Amino acid sequence: MAPRCLADHSPLRAAGTRRGYRPGHHRIRTSRGRLRCLPFPDRLAEDEGTLLEARGKPARGHLGGGQGERRRCGRAVGGFAAVRRRSRGLSRLLLTVAVLAAILLALRQFGLIAPETGQFRAVDGDSLQRGDIELRLHGIDAPELHQECQRGDGTAYACGREARSRLAKLVAGVELSCVVLENDSYEREVATCSDGDIDINAEMVRSGWATAYTRHGSDYLAEEQSARSARRGIWQGR
């Protein structure tokens, strides 16, 4: 016969039994050497959260669930378990997206994705368009289309339109090959474009109608310095 389980001042004490006696329970020793009072195995079906195995031995894992959840053999069940499953699923999804984005970027940078080819028109001094494809020229920044600048004599002129005119002359009637590197915050594809051996991006900076966009690199700083020294394009009033 199993020893009776004593629990001092237990509110579950049955009428007529001595103080601290809890019928239907027995004592077990936890992994930390403490005594606990748990139901006999025949009550397992009544309590899903118990950690007793079939023979009344303590189950492996944590004894007792945390507040707001129940545990069975160390595994969370109920609302908290559903939240954890959703969190794990979201983490896996984000990791997959990040890996795919990194692979795509690497393929683009090494030229393993077919470039955009064809005839493009100039939208402004640093953007091209062909059909529904709009490209932002990588590494350069031209004046806004309606922006004005000052010449050396102090008179204003439409430098934004001058920049677009220069780009339009560079791409007129030629088949460009544009390698897409990434997408900007406006979902435009950012690319380097060339006409044979002519780097369109570099030529815009060299002519003085665009500056090197150093936020994402320093590809065209030498071309900018050349244009600045010769006071070409927008540098004529500086």
149 and 122 in a common domain: yes
- 95 and 131 assigned to the same domain: no
Residue 126: closest CA among 203, 225, 181, 227: 203
Measured distance CA(237)–CA(149) in Å, rounded: 8
Closest CA to 70 of 54, 61, 81, 59: 81
Residue 18 belongs to some domain of the structure: no
pLDDT in tens, the chain (238 residues): 444 454 444 444 444 445 554 555 555 555 565 555 555 555 444 444 444 444 444 444 444 444 444 444 445 555 666 767 777 777 777 777 667 656 655 555 555 466 789 999 999 999 999 999 999 999 999 999 999 999 988 899 999 999 999 999 999 999 999 999 888 888 889 999 999 999 999 999 999 999 999 887 789 999 999 999 999 999 998 6
E strands, 144-223, are 149-150, 156-157, 176-183, 189-195, 198-199, 211-212
Could you tell me if residue 3 is inside a domain? no
> Is residue 214 located within the same domain as residue 130?
yes
Q: How many structural domains are present in the chain?
A: 3
- Indicate the residue type of 93: L
Query: Does residue 145 fall inside a structural domain?
Result: yes
Angle at 201 between CA 164 and CA 105, to 5 degrees: 125
Identify the pLDDT of residue 34.
58
Same domain, 46 and 85: no
The verdict on residue 84 lying in a domain is yes
Task: Look up the CATH number of the domain holding residue 184.
Answer: 2.40.50.90
Residues 153, 51 share a domain:
no
Do the domain assignments include residue 2? no
Q: Is 13 contained in some domain?
A: no
Identify the pLDDT of residue 218.
84
Q: Scan for tokens 């940078």, then name that residue.
A: 109
Q: Give the residue numbers spanning the domain of 84.
A: 78-113
